Amino acid sequence: MDAVDRQLIQALRENGRASYAELGRLVGLSGPSVTDRINRLEAAGVITGYRATVDAASLGLGVTALVGISLSDAADHEDVARRLRDLAEIEDCWFIAGDDSYMLKVRVGDVDGLERTIRRLSGTKGVSRTRTTIVLSTKWENRVGELPEEAAE
C-alpha cells in the first residue's frame, strides 16, 4: 500500500459515495486506475465495506457506555460471544486482555435502558461480572486510516 492508496482510503472515509472520477481528481489518477486500486484494496481485505455513519442520538440512542465483561472460569468464550451478539444494544464487542474478557460499546436511549441492558448482560450464562463506564461526550471515533505516514508504513 502506497501513499496514493492511503489518500484513496482517507477520501472514501470522508465520502464513501464519491465517484471514481472524483477520487481520481483528488489523487491525480484516471477513473479506471482508481477503480483498479480500490478493487485491489477490497480484494486484499483493506476496505471491508461501505456504510452510512449515523448520529446515534438522532435515533433515540443518547446514552453510550463501555461495559467490561468478566467471565466465570467455566465459561465458553465463543458461546458468550454468540449470546452477546443477540443484544441489539451492543454496537461493538472486543475480546481483550486484562481484567475483563470482553469490552462492549453499548448504545441505549436513557439510563433506565442502560440498567436493563446491564441486567441482561449480568444474567448471561458465563458472565460473572460487569463494569460500566458511561461516556459523557465523544471527541472522535473511527480514526483508522488517518494514521500519519510514518505510522502506516
The CATH class for the domain spanning 3-51 reads: mainly alpha
- Residue 151 scores a pLDDT above 60: no
Q: Using alpha carbons, select from 52, 20, 49 the residue that is nearest to residue 36.
A: 20
Q: Which fold has domain 56-135?
A: Alpha-Beta Plaits (3.30.70)
One fold for 3-51 and 56-135: no
Which three cell numbers mark 30? 484516471
Digit-coded pLDDT (tens) for 109-143: 999 999 999 999 999 999 999 999 999 999 988 77
Q: What is the mean pLDDT of residues 6-30?
A: 93
- Residue 144 scores a pLDDT above 70: no
Digit-coded pLDDT (tens) for 64-98: 999 999 999 999 999 999 999 999 999 999 999 99
Q: What is the mean pLDDT of residues 49-60?
A: 91
Gap between the Cα atoms of 96 and 100, Å rounded: 7
Global pTM value: 0.79
3-state secondary structure 15-77: CCCCCHHHHHHHHCCCHHHHHHHHHHHHHCCCCCCCCCCCCHHHHCCCEEEEEEEEECCCCCH
Gap between the Cα atoms of 70 and 38, Å rounded: 40
Name the residue ranges covered by the structural domains of the chain.
3-51, 56-135
Q: What is the mean pLDDT of residues 47-65?
A: 93
